[in-house]
Chains A and B, each alone.
Chain A
Amino acid sequence: MKNDQQQFEKTLPPFKLAIIGIGKISYGSHIPAALSSPLVKLVGFVDPETGRAQQIANEFGLSVEIASSITDMKGEVDGALIATPNHLHAPLAIECLQNGMHALIEKPLASTVQEGLDIIDMEKQSGKRVAVGYCTRFYPNFQLLKDLLDEGYFGTVKKFAYQFGTPGGWATFSNYLMKRQHIGGGVLVVTGTHFLDRMLHLFGFPDDIQLKDDSLGGPEANARMFMKFGQGAEHILGYVHFSKTTALPSGLVLDTEKGHVLLPDNMKDLVLYPHDQPDLAINLSRINGKPSPASQFQQQIEDFVLSCQLNRKPMVSAEEGLLSLRLLEKAYQHREALPDTWYEKNGRVQ
C-alpha cells in the first residue's frame, strides 16, 4: 500500500513553492528542505529585504523570483511557506489564500486566537489548505510514543514532565526579537509551543492551567506551567518548563502504570524504566520501523504538499494550530509571577 502511494506521488507534478520571509529559519532549514524534496520546485522568495533574499538565492545557486511582497510575484505559485515574524503570519496567510495559494505557516499559526479564526475562515472560503509548521510532530520517537499510548501499552498515565532550556537562542537576521511586541509572547511561544502542540496531540486540552513566568512587562524568558487533564481519579498532572536563560536537559518523562517513560528530544530514543525492574532501561523501537532519511523539515513540506495535491488533512491542521493558540491565550490569562529572587538576604541581583 505504502509503495503504491509512493509510486502515485511520483506521478504528481512538482509543487511550485514560494518562501515568504527569508530569515534564519528559512536559510538554515526550510530552503534546504525544499531543495532536497523531489516533490517541490522552489520558485520564489518574498521578503522586504530583497537584497538579502537575492544573496541567499545566490548562495544556494537558485534562479528564483525575488519579490518584496506577495502581490509583486509574477510567476505561478501553488503554495507558500510563511516564515516571518509571528505578528505577520495571519495577514500574509490570508493574502496567500486570497491569491489562490495554499499556506504552510511556521509555528505558531498566528498571534491571537481571533487571527487564527480569521485564517480558518479564509481557508474555508478559498478552498485552499493551511498547515502549521510544528515539525517536531514528525520525530519518529514521538510518533512511536503516540502509537504506544493509544494502544495502552504503558497502562495509565499518572503524570508527565517536560523541560527544554538553552542559554539564549539563535540570533535572527532581522533582529525582530529586539522589537519585543512582535514576538507575541516569550519563551512559551517561541520555544514552548512546539511541545505544547505535541502535548495537545497526546493528552488533549488541559482542564486546569497555571502559568508562572518571569516577565517584567516584556516577553518572559522562563515559563513553568502546571496542568491537570481530566477530573476524578483518572486525571493526569503535567508540568512543563521552558527557559531561554538556562541550559536544561531536554525531554519528556511520563510516570505510567508500567514505569517511567523517557522521550529525549533526540528524535530516536524512547526508553522505558519498568517499575518492577528498577535496574533496567528498555529502549523501544518497531522491528519494521525504518526512519525516513529526510529531515523533519522536508517531511513537513512534503506532508503539506501532499495534503494540497491529494486534498487530505495535513499532519498539523489550522484547527490544531488554533488549539495551541487557545492554550497559549488561556495560559497567559492566568499567569502568575515566577519567584525570581534567590538570595536569603542582602544580594540585590538574582
Chain B
Amino acid sequence: MRRVAVFGASGFAGTAIVERLLARHDVEVLAIIHSDGSAWRLFRRLDITLQQVDIISRQQVRDALKGVTHVVNCTRGTDNVMLHGLSILLEEAKQAGVQHFVHISSVLIYGDKPSPDSVHETAHTDPQTNAYGILKLKQDQFVQAAARAGLPSTILCPPNIIGPSSYLLSGLINMIKQDQFGLLDEGNTACATVDVANLAKAIELALFNGKGDGTRYFVTDNYNTTWAELTDYLLPLTGKTKAISIRKQDIERHTQVPKVSYNPLASIKHLVGSNVREALRLDPMLCKIDMFFRRIVAKLPGHLEEKVRLTVEGPTSIAKVSHEAPINWQFCSAQMRGVFHSCDLLQKDLNYTPDVTFHESMQAYIKWHNSMRGYDTEFASILKRLA
C-alpha cells in the first residue's frame, strides 16, 4: 500500500489533502505536524496517523519517512524552516526512496507585479521585492535540483486559495467591514483563485500521475474572476453595500519600499533624544550621567538651553490625523497583479479539471461562514452584536 506523508498537515491546504487522501482507502496517510496547537481539525478523527516532527531535525525527518512512498510539502514557517528544513526533507526523501515529492509553491514567485506572459509557467520568475516570493522561489529551485538529482518531484503554484474556512476570504470580510480594503478600477482587475478542494485534487493527481521532472504547474479554478465579483459575494456578510474605491497611485505610494539612507547626524540625534535617554535612565549609573549633563544644560542662558534642546530633539512634530480608516495597502496591491494564471499545462499533463466552480466555492464559503457565526440560527440577531 502507498504511504503518503503530508508535511504541514494542519494548515489549510495540508488538511484538505489529508482529508481527500483519507477518502480513497487505498493509501495510508501520515499527517505530519509541527506542534499540537493547531491540528484540531485532524484530532477529531481517529482514522489518521498523526506525527509531530520538527522539520529542522534531520533525525526526526528520517524517522518519519521510514516506509513512506510519497511526500506532500505544505509547510510554512521561518526562513530557516522553509529553506534549511526543506533541504533536509528533500535529502531524506531521496535517501528513503520516495517515489514522488509534491511541493506547494506560490504565484508570488512571479512577483507582486508579474509580467503579462506569466499567464503561463514558462514566464521568467522574478519575485521582485516580495520577501515571501523570494523564499518560495528559492524553495522551487531546491525542489527542481532534487528532481534533477533523482527525486521525482512536482511543483504546484496556487494563487489565492478560497473555499470554506479560507483565511483570505475571512480576512477580506474584516477589511471590507473596517474600510481597510478598497477596490481598484471599480474592481475590474484580475483575481486568480483556486478552491482548496481543487488544490487538493491537483496535489493528488501530481502525487500519483506526475512526471516527476520538477515541472511547475499553476493550479486554479480555471475561471477568470475579478476582485469586484469576489467582493460582491462577500458584501452581504459585511453589512456594507459597497467597498470603498482606491487609486493605483495611492497603492504605489504606500507600498513602495523606502530607500534606506544612513545619516550619522540623525543617528546621534536619535541617540541623545528623549526616548533613548528615558530608557537609559533606568540604569542608575547612566541616570547619574544624564542628570550631570542636564544640570550643565540647565546652567546655560535661557536661549542657549533652548537652542541645545532644539538641536538635540528637533522641533515638535505633529502628525496629520486622517479621518479615514487605515487601508491595508499591501493587501490591496494584489489587485495590481493583473494576470490570470492558466492551468492549461496541468490539464494537459495531468488531466486536471476543477471539481468545484468558483461560484460553488463562494456559495460554500458563505454557507460555512453563516454556520460558524450562528447566522443560521434563531440567535442571529443577537450574535450580530459580536460582529
Chain A residues proximal to chain B, CB less than 8 Å: 159-161, 163, 165, 167-172, 175-178, 180, 186-187, 214-222, 224, 226, 237, 239, 241, 243-251, 253-255, 260, 262, 264, 273, 339, 342-350
Contacts and interface: CB of A to CB of B under 8 A. Distances in A.
Contacts of B361: 343, 347
B43 A186 contact: yes
Contact of B44 (A165, A178, A215, A224): A215
Interface residues of B, number: 51
A187 B38 CA distance: 12
Nearest to B387: A249
A243 B39 contact: no
A262 B360 contact: no
B379 A161 contact: yes
Contacts of A159: 378-379, 382
A168 B360 contact: no
Contact of A347 (B38, B364, B379): B364
Contact of B355 (A167, A178, A260, A346): A346
Contact of B374 (A169, A241, A245): A241
A51 B167 CA distance: 39
Given A239-B374, A249-B387, A346-B360, A177 B382 contact: no
A260 B41 contact: no
Given A180-B43, A253-B382, A253-B386, A342 B374 contact: no
17 contacts: A159-B382, A161-B374, A163-B383, A165-B372, A167-B167, A171-B36, A171-B38, A172-B36, A217-B47, A219-B44, A221-B40, A244-B40, A244-B41, A250-B386, A273-B385, A346-B360, A348-B201
B41 to A, nearest CB: 5
Contacts of A237: 378-379
Contacts of B23: 348
Interface in B351-387: 355-356, 360-361, 363-365, 367-368, 371-374, 377-379, 381-383, 385-387
B99 interface: no
B106 to A, nearest CB: 20
B215 interface: no
B38 A169 contact: yes
Interface string B17-58: 001100100000000000111111101111100101000000
Contact of B36 (A167, A175, A187, A239): A175
Contact of A221 (B35, B43, B368, B385): B43
A347 B356 CA distance: 6
Q: Which of B35, B40, B163, B372 has the most CB of A within 10 A?
A: B40
Nearest to A180: B43
Q: Which of B23, B36, B196, B381 has the most CB of A within 10 A?
A: B36
Given A255-B381, A343-B197, A348-B355, 11 more contacts: A176-B36, A180-B46, A255-B382, A260-B385, A262-B385, A342-B364, A342-B365, A347-B195, A348-B201, A349-B20, A350-B165
B133 interface: no
Contacts of A180: 43, 46
A343 B10 CA distance: 21
B43 A247 contact: no
B386 A246 contact: no
B383 A161 contact: yes
B16 interface: yes
A222 B372 CA distance: 9
Nearest to B15: A349
Q: Which 7 A-B pairs have the closest CB atoms?
A: A168-B38, A171-B35, A171-B37, A244-B40, A217-B46, A177-B36, A216-B45
A218 B38 contact: no
B291 to A, nearest CB: 30
Q: Which of B200, B364, B379, B383 has the most CB of A within 10 A?
A: B379
Given A168-B10, A347-B360, A245 B165 contact: yes
A46 B293 CA distance: 52
Nearest to B167: A167
B278 to A, nearest CB: 23
Contacts of B38: 167-169, 171
A177 B43 CA distance: 8
B210 interface: no
Interface in B148-187: 163-165, 167, 170
Nearest to A255: B382
B327 to A, nearest CB: 21
A262 B386 contact: yes
Contacts of B20: 348-349
Nearest to B201: A348
A195 to B, nearest CB: 13
B377 A239 contact: yes
B382 A342 contact: no
Given A163-B383, A247-B170, A216 B46 contact: yes
